[in-house]
Each structure stands twice: as C-alpha cells, then as structure tokens.
Copies of this chain bind each other. A is one copy, B any other.
Amino acid sequence: MSDHFDRIRDSFARQSFMQTLQVRLDHIGHGRCTLVAPVLPTTTQQHGAGHAGVTFTLGDVAAGYAALSVLPDGTEVMTAEIKINLLRPAMGELLEATGEVLKAGRRLVVVKSDIHAISGGKRALIATMLGTMVPVDP
C-alpha cells in the first residue's frame, strides 16, 4: 500500500504544472487526497484573487489521485468530465483541495472535491466539484 502511494507521489512529481503552481501533495489515503497551494502573484485573475483555473486544477488533480488510490497498482486514471461550482472568490494566502471517491466502479470512479481558501487562519469553502474519472491502462 505504501508502494502504491509512493507511485502516486512519483506521478504527482512528474506533472510540471504542479511545480509551476507550487502545489504540494499534503495527504494521500485510500479514496482521499489533499493538495495545498499558495495564491501566487503569477496565478491571479483581473481583480487579484486566485484564478478559477487554479482552483479547478487543484480540485481536479486531488480528485484524480483520490480515484487512483483505490485502483489496482499499475492503473492510470483520466478525467472524463468534471463540473465546478464556484462559491466565493479565491481570496487568501493558501488554497486547499480535498478529493474524495464517492463510488469506485470497474469502468468509472465518481469523485467529488471541495476547495477551501485560507486567509489569516480562516477557512472558507470557495468551490465544490463533481466528476468522473476513468481508469486506463498506461
């Protein structure tokens, strides 16, 4: 099992976009993954808040690794589709995304993600996502 999580960490480390966004893999467990990233001067929208594209990216990647964590070792996973509802602007120093498996099937893994912004120690839910991951052979 720890090997399985190691391979998830390796996969995460190979995503150059995660480094560009300075995302850290905070936690990976069975059916659950948490990522943390700063709101950077290079990742804002026109009013200085974190860009919705970053919020989406964090939620999508967290959900993808949550799905991967429940699949047999050696499988890979792709996002088939995912929907985001944006609840509040991404104001704060940090963003935290937690992905979770709702139903793991052989063909499809249904996932959700919640993304919080952390500002001065206060957490606010800024987005919630619902999507479908599809296991693929590498």
Chain A residues near B (Cβ < 8 Å): 11-12, 14-17, 19-20, 41-47, 51-54, 56-57, 60-61, 78-88, 102-103, 107-108, 110, 112, 125, 128, 130, 132, 134
> Can you name 18 A-B pairs with beta carbons within 8 Å?
A15-B46, A15-B51, A16-B41, A51-B57, A52-B57, A53-B56, A79-B84, A80-B80, A80-B132, A81-B84, A81-B132, A82-B83, A83-B130, A85-B130, A85-B132, A87-B103, A112-B128, A132-B132
Copy total for this chain: 4
Residues of B contacting A15 with CB < 8 Å?
A: 44-46, 51
A108, chain B: closest CB distance, angstroms: 6
Which of B42, B82, B134 makes the CB contact (< 8 A) with A20? Answer: B42
Minimal beta-carbon separation of A77 from chain B (angstroms): 10
Asked if residues B11 and A46 are in contact (CB atoms below 8 Å), the reply is yes
CB distance from A41 to the nearest CB of B (A): 6
Complex Cα distance, B8 from A46, in Å, reads: 11
Given contacts A57-B57, A102-B125, could you give 15 more A-B pairs where the C-beta distance is less than 8 Å? A16-B43, A17-B42, A17-B43, A19-B42, A20-B43, A52-B60, A53-B53, A53-B57, A56-B57, A81-B83, A81-B85, A82-B84, A85-B132, A87-B103, A102-B128
